Amino acid sequence: MLDAALFRTDLDAVVQGLAARGAAFDRETFSRLEEERRRVIQEAEVLKAERNRVSEEVARLKRAKENADHLIAAQREAGDKLKTLEAAEKEAEAAFRAFLATIPNLPHESVPVGKDEHSNVEIKRWGAPRAIAAPKDHVELGTRLGILDLDRAAKLSGARFAVLKGLGAKLERALVSFMADLHAGAGWNEVLPPYMVLPEAMYGTGQLPKFEQDLFRTSRGEDTLYLIPTAEVPVTNLYREEILAEDQLPLRHFAFTPCFRSEAGSYGRDTKGIIRQHQFHKVELVSFTAPEKAQEELETLTREAETVLEALELPYRRMLLCTGDMGFSSRKTFDLEVWLPSQDTYREISSCSWFGDFQARRANIRYRPSAGKPQMLHTLNGSGLAVGRTWVAILENYQNEDGTITVPKALRPYLGCDVIR
């Protein structure tokens, strides 16, 4: 959530930032809500001042042993009106915050302006794609090897689910262990969070209220619980309503979890295979840092994700997303895209984002500087990596003419073999 003070002190900058993202700002609704909020607050302040004046007069009359019944009645009436105004003030504030909750983050000045992915900027490439004559896709490779079964998955759960079998299942497990060991070795602290969270957690990271249609939810008694779309949600919200000490920062966590997404509105995109699924595994990197260190931390986090691709010797490129292609909560995002031979192109395998204080403000996560009052910290997160898409990239990049898959050297101790046959 953006700082409400921005709308009152520099509204033009907010409008311009939103326009760069292709987001319109509803000035009429903002003005109406802000006017109502100010009106109620001003009326309450006037009434409080009057109540205080009457209280002082009642006290004076009582000291003088004079009758104050008429003022006591007026005082009681003012108290009743004040209760009504305080309730109205809460409603006005809630309506204003609900309006703010629908507004995306403002892009950083270093983010290129553009409508969609065609305006993203390539920052670098690593590794050269291997020449493969008539490359097969992961579906054909996995099905022929007997390690991927989409038909039986559909029988169990419908479209966009997969069953991995034999060395396919073991490869998924090996990738999780490999990534976890790599991040732990770099000093990131492992977390194993719940896979279902309360609405407050989804609100804290920006999934609610705007993206509810993309979520799966269930219930427990009177509580609504959402299945997490990414470990970003529970890990970021670990510190909701908390104040961290400055010497704890940067605080870096990683978590392996399943992820659940309804993929509303994505019909027709990547429906073949396991690139876009309703359930998949991911190792997520989440960082909390002081504002002045945030851009440096974005580079650290992005490099941490890149080390996974480099260790697996998978060609990739880093893209700086333009304003129109960034996520709702993001201030700046780097996408890592891995080479997929069957598509003859690079495809996203990780998004590494800096959110500024956008999520921290929603979740009320602060830190206490060595000198001064507590203030909002900055949050960041990125995939380190999406396990299923890494599985896809390995099959396609390491395929052989006979349909076997050479196992990347870094994974051989985890998988226990050199080739998947």
Q: Output the known binding site for L-serine.
A: 230-232, 261, 284, 381, 383
Catalytic residue among 252, 331, 362, 389: 389
The alpha-carbon radius of gyration of the chain (Å, integer) is 27
Positions at the binding site for ATP: 261-263, 348-351
| SS3 category, 189 | strand
Tell me the C-alpha distance between 335 and 182, whole Å.
Answer: 20
Catalytic residue among 261, 318, 361, 366: 261
Catalytic residue status for 317: no
Catalytic residue status for 351: yes
CB-based contact 382:301 (threshold 8 Å): yes
Tell me the C-alpha distance between 174 and 204, whole Å.
Answer: 32
Question: Both tokens of residue 19?
Answer: 């326009």
Catalytic residue among 287, 330, 351, 353: 351
CB-based contact 259:228 (threshold 8 Å): yes
Query: Which residues make beta-bridge pairs with 252?
Result: 287
Which stretches of 114-197 are assigned E, i.e. beta strand? 121-126, 148-149, 163-164, 189-190, 196-197
| SS3 category, 218 | strand
Catalytic residue among 125, 173, 240, 276: 276
Catalytic residue status for 276: yes
Go through 337-346 and write b for each residue having 16 or more CB atoms within 10 A of its CB, e for each that does not: bbbbbbeeeb
Catalytic residue among 125, 348, 368, 412: 348
Q: Which residue's structure tokens are 């908390």?
A: 242
First to last CA, the chain: 51
CA angle, residues 183, 184, 190, in degrees to nearest 5: 100
* Closest C-alpha to 354, from 324, 327, 331: 331
Tell me the C-alpha distance between 125 and 123, whole Å.
Answer: 7
Tell me the C-alpha distance between 202 and 198, whole Å.
Answer: 7
According to DSSP, the β-strands at 189-190 and 251-260 are: parallel
CB count in 10 Å sphere of residue 196: 18
Catalytic residue status for 389: yes
Burial of 214 (0-12, 13-18, 19+ CB in 10 A): middle
Provide the annotated active-site residues. Answer: 261, 276, 348, 351, 389
